[in-house]
Chain A
Amino acid sequence: MNKYFMFLILVSAALLGGCWDRYELEERAIILALAIDLADESKAAEMPEVTHGKGEFPEQENQRIYKLTAQLAVPGKVMLGPGGGDTNSGDTDWLLVTYGYTMKDALSNLQQELAEKIHLGHIQLIVMSDQIAKNSIEDIMDFLRRDYEIRRTAWVMITEGEAHQILNATPPIQTVPSLYLANTLKEAVKFGKLPKEYLGKVWIDFSDIGVDAIIPLVQPMGDHIRVEGLAYFKEHKMVGKLSPTETGAVLAMQGQNPAGYSNVVQSEDKSGIYMVKPYRRSSDISVKMVDGKPKVFIRVNIEGFIEEEPKSKNLSGEKLEELEKTINKMGKESLEKLIKKLQKDQSDILGIGARVRAYYPKYWNEQIKDDEGWYEVYKDLDIQVSMDYRILRVGMEWK
């Protein structure tokens, strides 16, 4: 019993001594979103001396100054429950801008301006401008990986132009903009419009040998945003972007479900235009060694249905078969085009290299060895695509 007593003393000592990690919810500055832009060199002069003295930041090549825009939740502005008393007008969020050589540098500067402790545990999304992405995002990712509060399930996005404009989107339906933005992406994944590429997945893709990352691309539209497709990377550099249709093609090759993106198909005789929506996709990426060289076969199976046919009412079994043929040809062409594009930019977002490495380790270790070697091979890799699109249903209309 003495021991219980000592235990009690120990705990109460702690109680008196600190409660070291107790920060009440209202004592935390909850950052919901971060936008990262490139800033001019001139901003270096404006930076406060927080992590380093004036001009004492160690010089290195490719030195960049980041403009960090943070979105904070403002307590007391979001009402509890329906109605919830009188709404004192004002924004539910608060945008703060700081500058820094690195992420932590900028955040330290931000902390200098805030009373509460910065809390990154609820960060919903991180937006980067394509200027940064086209250079390299390795240095940004390091801080995000190292910080224990950041969720691996946060969204990372890239936007063409100014990233902070994304955070300015204040949609009328949601109380907090960044929640709306995160929701937009989450729903997009649910509808099969985007692959599930949250922060943790992007990090894995960056680390993996023979896999390159893709990051969702968004565009500010005033008070809301539009999903623009994907940005694809070569190692840590963004090398190009994919339109929504191409995104659909990537998703099809990855076999991700549920399927999104309807496609327009015109019948051979040009009599009708059909809007076909896939709803189940499966794919198989296999690698075979032919004459000591890898050869890749990508088989895509899609099941879909017809959503719209505005012109001619002439659907029938034969017509569907004919349509399937057309759509298969079309699909194969677009897939091949997409793969050519990716090969040209040396971005292996499908993870073909990882598969070669996994299934033919001997070949890999002898001939390829690392990422550099792989890109050389990948450039002119023989990739065969086949597509099997089946239209099963035509909706509520018979014809």
Chain B
Amino acid sequence: MKHTDSISSIQVAGIIASTIIGVPLMVLPRFIVAEVGEAAILASVVGLILSSISLIAITELGKKYKEYTIIGCNRLLLGKYIGNLLNVLIIVSMMIVMGLEVRQFAEVLASGLLPNTPIEFSIIIMIFLCTLAGFRNVSTFAYIHFFYLPFLLIPMVFLLFSIKDLETYHLLPVFGHELSLFQFMKGAFLMMAAITNYFVVAMLIPYIKDHENCVKNGIWGLFLGGLAILFCIVMTLGVFGVQELELLYWPVLSLSRIIQIPGEVLSRIDAIILITWIFAVFTTLFSHYFVAVRGTAEIFRTDKFNLISTIMVPFIYVIALIPDNIYEIYDYGINTAFFVLIIYIALPIGLLIIGRIRKRVRVQ
């Protein structure tokens, strides 16, 4: 597609960081800890490193096929039919993940901030917010992510106020209690599943100015965002301990409720953390939506992004309302996340290999 837009690889890093800090931030500490106990920190570090392999594969793919998004790559390397089948799979999975995440968002609001506001309303208003931001301009997409990034990271400093409540015996032993490798890897996979959304990079490749630095800066972005998530895990685990964490639904929210700012300007800072988190949710959902809308547009070779994004609204809304209760949301969420994870890791690596084989065949 012809375009004059371009983004720098540092902006790509910003996009990755602000995308992966998102909806799961609130619940992630609980789920990882429930799985692996005190080894949560180690497991999430391992998860982060494993994720970076997938990210490297995506960016390497971008280096090779500078003109193509993942959608174009699929079509180029796998042929029209298989390629488009995979493309549809990607778009549908993005929509499902987005629907579930917006539902999670609404549930947190309903049980922590606005108990009487119908979740249907907060779901639809959030989807609308994403459509309002527009998809035509890739540089605007990058600006939005980059602009919000400091607003996502700075409020986390507030969590540092609780450092005096941190107990070292909550963090030890780092390998957890009687943990099998399988369980440990499940924790790592949870972390990976929570941050799969760096996949948005694959849709940005034709717009990146400097592909050479993209791998390096992409990893930086991943680690910046990952570090923020890790920080939340460390703080919640250190303050609450495994047993308390397992009881809490939204540990980060609970943590922000413990914090007292000296001077008592605000009596509770959970509002600030919640607003920050709403920003984070927006950037994450926006990325999902971006992939879905622009992907669909590329499949149909059109640039009617507004039309496509408006058509998608009811679908995402319906997906968001499918789960019956709060436990089901997370059941669905984790299952789709594992499924999505397999696509996102296997696809770029597979494409790289196919690309190499094809080249060799052509040479012969």
Contact = CB atoms under 8 A, between A and B. Distances in A.
Q: Do A and B touch each other in the complex, judged by CB within 8 A?
A: yes
Interface of A: 3-4, 6-7, 10-11, 14, 20-21, 145, 148, 151-153, 200-201, 203-204, 207-210, 351, 354-355, 357-359, 361, 364-365
B244 to A, nearest CB: 4
Interface string B132-150: 1000000000000000000
Interface stretch (B28-36, B167-175, B327-335): B167-175
B221 interface: no
A347 B118 CA distance: 46
Contacts of B240: 204, 207
Given A3-B131, A358-B168, A153 B173 contact: no
Interface in B211-231: none
A106 to B, nearest CB: 20
Contacts of A10: 124-125, 128
Nearest to A203: B244
B241 A204 contact: yes
B116 interface: yes
Contacts of B117: 20-21
Nearest to A2: B306
B241 A153 contact: no
19 contacts: A3-B132, A20-B114, A20-B117, A20-B118, A21-B115, A145-B247, A151-B257, A151-B267, A152-B254, A152-B258, A153-B260, A200-B258, A204-B240, A204-B241, A208-B244, A209-B243, A358-B38, A358-B172, A358-B173
A151 to B, nearest CB: 6
Contacts of A364: 177
Interface string B255-279: 0011010000001100000000000
A204 B115 CA distance: 25
Contacts of A145: 247
A53 to B, nearest CB: 27
A287 to B, nearest CB: 10
B247 A207 contact: yes
A208 B116 CA distance: 34
A365 B178 contact: yes
| Interface footprint category on B | 35 or more
Given A3-B310, A152-B258, A210-B169, 10 more contacts: A3-B131, A7-B132, A20-B116, A151-B257, A204-B244, A207-B243, A208-B243, A357-B177, A358-B168, A361-B178
Interface of B: 38, 111-112, 114-118, 121, 124-125, 128, 131-132, 165, 167-173, 175-178, 239-241, 243-244, 247, 254, 257-258, 260, 267-268, 306, 310
A27 B306 CA distance: 43
Closest 3 A/B residue pairs (Cβ): A358-B172, A207-B244, A358-B169
Nearest to B165: A201
A365 to B, nearest CB: 5
B263 to A, nearest CB: 14
Contact of B258 (A153, A357, A359): A153
A361 B173 CA distance: 7
A72 to B, nearest CB: 18
B169 A357 contact: yes
Given A355-B169, A358-B173, A14 B121 contact: yes
B253 to A, nearest CB: 9
A270 to B, nearest CB: 42
Given A21-B117, A351-B167, A365 B268 contact: no
Contacts of A20: 114, 116-118
Contacts of B173: 358-359, 361
Contacts of B247: 145, 207
Contact of B115 (A3, A148, A210): A148
Nearest to B250: A148
A209 B241 CA distance: 9
Contact of A208 (B165, B168, B241): B241
A57 B125 CA distance: 42
A153 B257 contact: yes
B318 to A, nearest CB: 17
Given A14-B121, A201-B165, A204-B240, A148 B112 contact: yes
Best-surrounded residue of A145, A152, A357, A365 (most CB of chain B within 10 A) = A152
Nearest to A209: B243
A312 B274 CA distance: 62
Contacts of A148: 111-112, 115
A6 B75 CA distance: 36
Contacts of A11: 125
Given A204-B244, A355-B169, A358-B168, A6 B118 contact: no
Q: Which of A7, A148, A201, A357 has the most CB of B within 10 A?
A: A148
A277 to B, nearest CB: 23
Contacts of B118: 20
